[in-house]
Structure formats: structure tokens, C-alpha cells
Structure 1
Amino acid sequence: MSVYYYGYPNYYGTSPILETSQLPPERFGGEQQPGFQPPLFGGGGQQGFPPFGGGSQQAGAPSSPPPSYTPQESPSLFAVDPGAIRRCLYRFTFVWLNNGNSFWFYPTFVGRDSVAGYRWRRFRWVYYGTDLRRIRSFRCS
């Protein structure tokens, strides 16, 4: 029994996993032939699929940990917009969320309403994405 990724990545960058018997044949262009394998993510968007993570993981996580200090927060009078955080692409960035959480972040993609990259968690980089409305303020190093 084979297992394949099917569907688009969810909010956390993963896809639901389904067995091949659960895949609808019409999704992949008709009846499945013996030896047929549906496309897997990470192949650069073949057959109408986007590359895994929206193409944002090409740079990869940083090879070093973030700075060992916590910068002082400067209050933001305006909403965080894509143009403001875009200047922090591929730079260590400290982020303060509206819920009070704060962490080091290494952004690799900025969209119209969201940002994605790598978040420092438990002594390693973990792929992470969030809505720009959840960010209270940020500071690039």
C-alpha cells in the first residue's frame, strides 16, 4: 500500500496524507493505470501543483543560530505591511506577536497578507508562516 501527499499544503506547510485508494481518479486526469503515481510536492509545480511551501524554501534555514540577545521593542503606530517587512528578507528578525509571544525569525517569503520563513524554537530552525495582522512589531538585525 502506497501513501502520497495530496492537496495543497495547509497553514503549517504540510499536507494531509492519503492512501492511494483514497485518491479520486478524476483529480489526476482519469482512471488510474497500474504503476500510476500522483505527483509529489517539491517537484517545482508540475501538473499545476505549486512547489512545496510556495517556492519560499529555496534559500533554506540559516546555518547558524540567531543572535543571543533580545532587542528592545519599538512600538509600531501602523499596521505591519509587506513593504516594511520585505526589507528584512534573509536577515535575522525579532518578531513580537499580538498575543505576547516573541521570537527570532528568518523570513524567506513575504506575500500580500503573510510572511513565511524559519522560526527559532528549542535550539533549531523550524519552518513557520503567519498572517501579517498577527505581528505587533518586528526588528531586523
Structure 2
Amino acid sequence: MYDWNRSCCESSQPYSQLETDKRFFFPWFPNQGGGSAFGPPSSPPPIEPGQSPQAGPPSEPPPSFVPQQTQQIGTFAVDPGGIRGCLFRFTYVWLDRFQQFWFYPTFVGRTSVAGYRWNGFRWMYFGIDLNRIDSFTCV
């Protein structure tokens, strides 16, 4: 019979230490600062070129106007180099299927972009494939 008063995953470490050492639960994850996966971080996590160490949402709402859309007829996907110039700037995005919104990009990858999308009340973390973006403009 199972003893419900006994923990299924006992450890010799105190609970407070387990709470802060996430690697106990996910030992296959690399250490964020590099170095040994089971030792303390040797340095802060690396910052990629063009990225900011403080990539949180903006502290204010986006502008109250909607910019005029620029036509990009015949474009199949947005170039990552083009939208990279909008990093950490208010950017208005028009998607396929007529969706449009204010966006604050914080990361641009080879095929996607991530950042914060304004939902009318607050910033929400959001990511999307570049081929879904019809056009964009940053202010």
C-alpha cells in the first residue's frame, strides 16, 4: 500500500535549496552561465549581438495612432535583417488574414520574431513566424 505521508522523491538537500536549484529537477539542462552543468555559473548568460540584457516589455502603452500600411506586393516573407532594425522600438505589424497590432520586438531569429504584443490593455509575450507578416513599420 502507498504511504501518502511520505514523499515520492526524497532528497538529502533541504527544500529551500531544491527550490533555487532547478537543475535538480532538470539535470540535462545546461548551466545558463556556461561551465559545468552541475556547478555554479561561471559567468552571466551570454547576450547575443543586437539583443538587450533588459528585454522586458515597455513601461508605457504604444502610440495611440495606427500608421499607414506600406504595400509589399509579391513579398513572401519578411527579411530578418529588415525587422531587426525595429528591435526595442514600437512596431506596427500587419499579418496575413488582416490581423494588425502594436508589437515591441525583443528577439529576431532566422525565421521568427518574438517580443511583446499590445492587447489593448497590457503587453503580452508573443512570437510569430516571419512568413506570417505582410508588412510592418516601426516608430
TM-score w.r.t. structure 2 length?
A: 0.65
Is contact 1:85-1:110 (8 Å) kept? yes
- Residue number in structure 2 paired with 1:113: 111
Q: Does 1:38 align with 2:25?
A: yes
By percentage of residues, which structure has more strand?
A: 1
Post-superposition offset of 1:70: 0.4
Equivalent residues, number: 108
- Residue number in structure 2 paired with 1:76: 72
Aligned equivalent of 1:128, options 112, 126, 129: 126
Is contact 1:93-1:140 (8 Å) kept? yes
Shift in CA distance, 128/56, structure 1 to aligned 2, threshold 3 Å: farther
TM-score w.r.t. structure 1 length?
A: 0.64
Aligned partner of residue 99 in structure 1, secondary structure: helix
Task: Point out where structure 2 has 5 or more consecutive residues left out of the alignment.
Answer: 1-7, 19-23, 39-44, 46-50
Post-superposition offset of 1:123: 1.1
State how far apart, in whole Å, the 2-side matches of 1:72 and 1:132 are.
20
Task: Point out where structure 1 has 5 or more consecutive residues left out of the alignment.
Answer: 1-20, 24-31
**Identity of counterpart residues, as a percentage?**
56
- Residue number in structure 2 paired with 1:9: none
Aligned partner of residue 133 in structure 1, secondary structure: helix
